[in-house]
Structure 1
Amino acid sequence: MSLSEIRSSADARMAKTIDAFKAGLSKIRTGRAHTGILDHVLVEYYGSPVPISQVANVNLIDARTISVQVWEKPMAGAVEKAIRESDLGLNPIAMGDNIRVPMPALTEERRRDLTKVVRGEGEDAKVAVRNLRREANEALKKLVKDKEISEDDERRSQDEVQKLTDRYVAELDKLVSQKEAEIMTV
């Protein structure tokens, strides 16, 4: 592996960590309804677990209510059950082939708990970024050991990897603070 390959690999993997963190944040409720909250809920469809978006239209009725319009009437019960049994704490209401999902208001205590969860997820993502930095630095040390690069090149590359790490950690901090502000907004 060359220096540029090590840097680009670390950059790409750190970017994937950020994307995974953003996906995790989208699952954390803020009290406002958004269709993405049901993205990870799987429903049994002819023996296969599939996302709700593949068996129904998911729309917003208002700021606190999601509408799930199933395409096949027999699927309504399965979709309602999947939403109820998900880890989201939602209580769907079936109305024929349409399911309404009201978003319960968050209490102050629950908001504080959610900010703690967000901070914890942020720390986990930072650890992942730092582990990627460590792996990149180990790869650089291996290149020095194999006499493929000089120690000066290794130091320069380690500095670049550190700057990359700092950039991604700062982005994670920004995402955490934005989500905390969103959660604490009543």
Structure 2
Amino acid sequence: MINDVKKSAETKMQKTLEAFKNDLAKVRTGRAHTGILDHVTVDYYGSDTPINQVANVTLIDARTIGVQPWEKSMAAKIEKAIRDSDLGLNPAAMGDIIRVPMPMLTEERRRDLIKVVRSEAEGARVAVRNVRRDGNNELKNLIKDKAITEDEERRAQDDIQKLTDKYIAEIDKALAVKEADLMAV
């Protein structure tokens, strides 16, 4: 029973860390990468569909993303979806390819992005702490049901705390790497 609680907590913390790293990948630096457009959706026959499911998304060069729609009629919709997204990008249609240049980041924009990244990190830390709280509550319920002793509960809480510390350190490490990446000119 105790092992189930610990395994469940560790799995949830791991998922939180992976979700945080995915969120970090969406915050753009000065370089182009195709993952930037992953959360941008376009209206495709009445349903919101990610751009990478209606077009080829490739890198043209280090600072430009190329989007080639599979259907010519989708080009204008894709261009509008990219422009309307919160990414601050200005796509330009050139024939059947939409070019999305990555603007240089100003010092002010870099600082704003760091604030965004830090708030994402704090959200991830809170999520890890919530997993710890849930695990500890499960342990308390096991004590009430007389399934485990108080000593076993105390040891299990210590183990869950060690897991919490480990995953928060991982989050802080990923945050430091992203901040360094954002501040690099």
- The residue aligned with 1:18 is 17
- TM-aligned CA deviation for residue 87 of structure 1: 0.8
> TM-score with structure 1 length normalisation?
0.97
What is the CA–CA distance in structure 1 between the aligned matches of 2:28 and 2:34, rounded to whole Å? 11
Runs of 4+ in 1 over 2 A off after TM superposition: none
Partner residue of 2:80? 81
Structure 2: gaps of 5 or more residues: none
Among the aligned pairs, what percent are the same residue? Answer: 67
Task: Please tell me whether the aligned partners of residues 76 and 96 of structure 1 are also in contact (alpha carbons under 8 angstroms).
Answer: no
C-alpha distance in 1 between matches for 2:180 and 2:82: 27
- The alignment of Structure 1 onto Structure 2 pairs a total of residues equal to 185
- Partner letter of residue 182 of structure 2? I
Which letter maps to 2:61?
D
Q: Which runs of 5+ in 1 are unaligned?
A: none
Match of 2:108 in 1: 109
Describe the superposition over 1:95-133 as per-residue Cα deviations: whole angstroms up to 9, x where unpaired. 122000000100011111111111111011101100110
Show the 5 A alignment for 1:162-181. Answer: 162-181=161-180
Tell me, in whole angstroms, the C-alpha distance in 2 between the residues paired with 1:131 and 1:164.
13
Query: Any conservation in 2 of the 1:43–1:78 contact (CA below 8 Å)?
Result: yes
State how far apart, in whole Å, the 1-side matches of 2:51 and 2:144 are: 52
TM-score, structure 2 as length reference: 0.98
* One-letter code aligned to 1:48: S
**Residue 139 of structure 1 corresponds to which residue in structure 2?**
138
Deviations 1:41-91 (A, max 9, x none): 001111111111111111111111000011111110011011001111100
Q: What residue is the counterpart of 2:151 in the other structure?
A: 152
SS of the aligned residue for 1:44 comes to: strand
